[in-house]
Amino acid sequence: MIQPTLTATKKPQPSHYQEPKPLKIQVIKRNGTKAGLDIGKIRAVVEWATRGLSLNPITLEAGLTTRLRDGVTTREIQENLIRCALEMCSPSEPDWRYVAGRLHIWSLWKDTLVKRGYLYDDYQKTVTNKVATGEYDERILSYSPAELTEAGSWIKADWDTDYDYAGAVLLTSRYLLDNELPQEALLSACLLLALPETPETRLYWAKQFYQAIASRQISLATPILANLRTSTGSLTSCFITAMDDNLESIFNEVTNTARISKSGGGVGVNCSRIRATGSWVMGKKNASGGVIPWIKILNDTAIAVNQGGRRAGAVTVSIDIWHLDVPEFLEMQTENGDQRRKAYDVFPQLVITDEFMRRVVNAQDWTLVDPYEVKTQFGIELATLWGAEFEHWYQKIENSLGEKITLYKRINARELFKLIMRAQVETGLPYLAFKDTINRANPNQHEGYIPAVNLCTESFSNVIPGDKAHCCNLLSLNLANLEISEIPHLCRLGVRILDNTIEISEPPFAAAKNHNQHYRTIGVGCMGLADWLAKRQLSYRHLEEINILFEEIGYWCTQASLELAQARGAYPGFPGSQWSLGNLIGAKPVSWYLDNAQHKQRWVQLSQDIQQFGIRNSHITAIAPNTSSSLVQGCTASVLPAYSRFFYDKWAKGTVPIAPPFVNDYYWYYQENKALDQQQIVKAIAAIQQWIDTGISMELIFNLNQGVYYPDQPDKALKAKDIFDTLILAWQEGCKAIYYIRTVQKDDFKDSSDQCTSCAN
């Protein structure tokens, strides 16, 4: 065993004393052979792993020496080094997580070298072998051997060493195939993404895609990166379907939910048209069991069709806030009551109108009704209405209570909102979707309406039961790794990648395929806003700078879709759309841009060009939560602040250190979301939303500890009224949806006002 260097003088020994012989440690290599321990090799690996970081490699080497033994494997040595590095990671020295990440990649390299005999030396051979074994989609062989060899020359092995430990582990465990290296996975995906290009230009575009993705300026959504190379599973991230009020439609959408889950997608199912509990069935009153039994079937489908054994299906189920079953809907995940009417494995979502929110603010009564009776008595499908048309018919319905409408319930709107808040503080759910805000911004109002939001609340468009199911492909720009001057190029790449994805993907059922081709919905998103702000010594209070950034992103993504329309044609639903009328992001007229944009005239020109040439994609931008993919990208998630400047996350193999990428240099400029006034977040998201044509995953975190938001009043804690005010503000400021509600600590959460009540988390 290696002994540490001693600075003290050795004590004199008796004349018969003999120095002990150094232990001969035999190491078992990855190929099974044995060799003597070579400390020089370990030292070289440690020096390589710490290169360029302000860390002392000797401390890592010293930590390892106590763990060596005869018969130790080189893999164990590597894992011991990784554990040592993770143990030394701290708020003062967070970069040890990068050392652990590099060591993890080193181990992957060595394993791959042993198994196949080479690393990045022969990409063309790797592709040929993986197509032969059925691991790669054979379409990649559309490229000639010479082209594959040229593509292999683009690879930079050093890009593998940019990941911290969390990112390296997620990348290798979630995305890589057996005997596949990170750059091979990224490059192969990019070659396939470039297939819709012309034969003369596809290699050019593949290189552009690869360089942006490998350098972590663009992040592909999980379905694209995980499924594209293998030709199994969908490339689409999210779907939304809607059920009509008949058995055929209900079970058709249950089947579609199963198909989506099988292919690894997340799905939203709107159930607002389904008749309520106590409604009529075949002319018999009180025969209907309402919405909950059908949600129960969706719940069990999500469990049964478990994404190829990887995890249970992910389904959000939505109903409109006027539906008679809303109170039971809010109770369907509680422990009390009839277990046959519970659904613990879906994600409930409420679709909320402006009229309801106004009545919440004014503490007025609200009426819950049965959609079947409304349809029978008034000849309208209430679920399809929004805005002034909804308010017109809803007033007529309320004027007919006890006459035409016999199945209803009156409840104070604020009291109902209290029930929603209580469920959110207890469980984080339901999601809230602001229906009128969403549909006012819908560019395709001429062809229908948006019933609800997707599983992560950022992506949505028109849905027609049995005909068109919302279908969207996503990627994200990594703001941590780009400058504003790079935005035009990266936006063009992002839009092009996703439009190409539509061409090469095969949605799992017909209604999704119809939607994909008719609306060509994509979602270019962002992550790493907290890093972008910290590098510039800004905060979430700097709304002007945030506005400028997202105006650039919104403009250049829209411009990119225009340019594709000039080359490839507009999406089929373009005639009659808000785009065709000259309205731009969020269906806003040009006059809005003249009042609010930094660069006004370019928006005027953009409007004119789109009216002349069309636009390729009906929806272009959407900001997903990308919690896991941001770890792979080495940045903060989405556009939200970092939860903490440094913390440990619990994983299956232990705790993993998590920290923002620039925390060493900009520590105090990282605002911690766990202690940040969430009204700041709401205002920042609202500012961003002006330039994003679909939605933003806005998770809110409320800290229930005393003194967190009131440093001068250590005994003062957040009240239920504060959360109430924040949710109301989100609606008033034009946010389209609220994702999870998170709370920090399990303190008593008492209401000291008449606004609402809540309970302990």
**Catalytic sites, residue numbers:** 454, 456, 458
Output the CA torsion 77→79→81→85 (10° steps). -170
**Could you tell me the CA-to-CA distances from 550 to 439, 618, 688 in Å, in that order?**
21, 19, 6
* Full DSSP string of 562-606: HHHHHHH---TT-TTSTTTTT--GGG--HHHHHHH-SSHHHHHHH
Contact 250, 471 (CB under 8 A): no
Distance CA 2, CA 62 (A): 9
Gap between the Cα atoms of 55 and 46, Å rounded = 11
**What is the CA angle 184-186-188, rounded to 5?**
65
Q: What SS3 state is found at 348?
A: strand
- E-strand ranges in 323-435 read 347-352, 365-369, 408-412, 431-434
Backbone angles phi, psi at 509, to 5 degrees: -155, 165
Q: Where are the alpha helices (DSSP H) in 117-181?
A: 123-132, 145-152, 165-170
Is residue 549 within 8 Å of 652, Cβ to Cβ?
no
CA–CA gap between residue 695 and residue 624 (Å, rounded): 8
Q: Which of 752, 755, 754 has the alpha carbon at shortest distance from 718?
A: 752
Q: How far apart are the C-alpha atoms of 490 and 603, rounded to whole Å? A: 19
A 10 A CB-CB count for 43 gives: 14
Helix 600-613 vs helix 543-568: angle between axes, to the nearest 10 degrees?
Answer: 20
Q: How far is CA 451 from CA 159, 341, 346, 436, 737, in A?
A: 43, 24, 18, 10, 13
**Coil, strand or helix at 752:** coil
E strand segments, 183-333: 218-220, 238-242, 266-270, 314-320
Task: Determine the Cα–Cα distance for residues 39 and 721; give it in Å rounded to an integer.
Answer: 62
The b-or-e profile of 410-429 (16+ CB within 10 A means b, else e) is eeebbebbbbbbbbbbbbbb
Amino acid at 13: Q
Q: How many whole angstroms separate alpha carbon 367 and alpha carbon 408?
A: 7
Who contacts 397 (Cβ-Cβ below 8 Å, separation ≥6)? Answer: 367, 369, 374, 378, 382, 405
DSSP state of 284: B
**Residue 580 phi/psi, 5° resolution?**
-65, -20
Q: Supply the Cα-derived Rg of the chain in whole angstroms.
A: 29
Element (H or E) spanning 759, and its range?
none
Rounded to the nearest 10 degrees, the angle between the axes of helix 387-399 and helix 371-378 is 90
Question: Three-state SS for 251?
Answer: helix
Residues 350/368, Cβ–Cβ less than 8 Å:
no
